[in-house]
Amino acid sequence: MRFVDLADGGRRLAPLVAAALTPDAVVVSAGDGGLVTGRAVAQALGIAVVPLVTTRSDAGVRVELPLDVAGRRVVVVDDGVESGTAARAVAAALRTAGASSLVLAVPVCPQEAETDLRTRYDEVVALVRPLERRSLQWHYDTFA
């Protein structure tokens, strides 16, 4: 499956996100591509999405949480997973902040990364699950 662009990935992902929502859930987007994908999910479902600030450096991925997630189910929307580094950092930050349940929702998640991510998230939902990781650009006609 290929996606036209990041927004198309979000629109197609929206039904999976809807199935993961609970009354106390909050939907957040991670990273720049996740913001585009998250906005498309939010628009399709008529819900709000809160962007997380993620900063990559040689030291790793820093995550800033702009809201209190203690005791809440958090659905993390991103444009996809390559290595899983950012998704792991987001999960760690949300767990430290007291989230009660974590769901990772992405258009693309390679099976080799998903195995590890399932130890960090309560649920991982994806539209495409290739065996091995490859550049996310491969799954999108326009990746920007």
**Domain ranges for the chain:** 6-139
- Region 124-132: what's the mean pLDDT? 95
Cα–Cα distance between 20 and 1 in angstroms, integer?
22
Q: Which residue has the higher pLDDT, 64 or 119?
A: 119
Q: What is the pLDDT of residue 133?
A: 82
Q: What is the pLDDT of residue 74?
A: 97
pLDDT digits (tens, 9 = 90+) for 75-116: 999 999 999 999 999 999 999 999 999 999 999 999 999 999
Helix/strand/coil for 136: helix
Q: What is the pLDDT of residue 56?
A: 83
Cα–Cα distance between 61 and 76 in angstroms, integer?
16
Write down the CATH number for the domain with range 6-139.
3.40.50.2020
Q: What is the pLDDT of residue 77?
A: 98
